[in-house]
Amino acid sequence: MAKYGKKAQDKVERAMHEMKEGKLKSGNSNKKVTNPKQAVAIGLSEARKAGGKVPKKKTASK
C-alpha cells in the first residue's frame, strides 16, 4: 500500500516547482527556499494540514 496519497504528491510537486522558480519562501523567516529537501518538507507539511495521507513526522531519537 502507498505511504503517500495523491494530495501529498500534488503539494510536494507544487512546492518543488515554486522552489525552482525562486518563489517558495519558508514559514517564519520568509526567506527563499533553495534546498530541495526543505521544499519536500514544506509540501508534506501542507498536505498534512490539508488532511492528505502522509505518515507522521519522524522525531529525532536520542
pLDDT means per 10 residues, the chain with 62 residues, are: 86 94 88 92 90 79 66
- What pLDDT shows up at residue 62? 64
As for how many domains the chain has, the answer is: 1
Q: Give pLDDT, residue 10.
A: 92
Instruction: Indicate the SS3 state at residue 28.
Output: coil
**Residue 28 maps to a domain:** yes
Grid cell in block for residue 49: 494540514
Q: Could you tell me the residue range of the domain that residue 38 belongs to?
A: 6-49
pLDDT of residue 22: 92
Of residues 2, 18, 31, the one with CA closest to residue 46: 18
For residue 34, being part of any structural domain is answered with yes
* Cα 62 to Cα 45: distance, rounded to the nearest angstrom: 24
Give domain status of residue 38, yes or no.
Answer: yes
Interatomic CA distance for residues 7 and 56, integer angstroms: 15
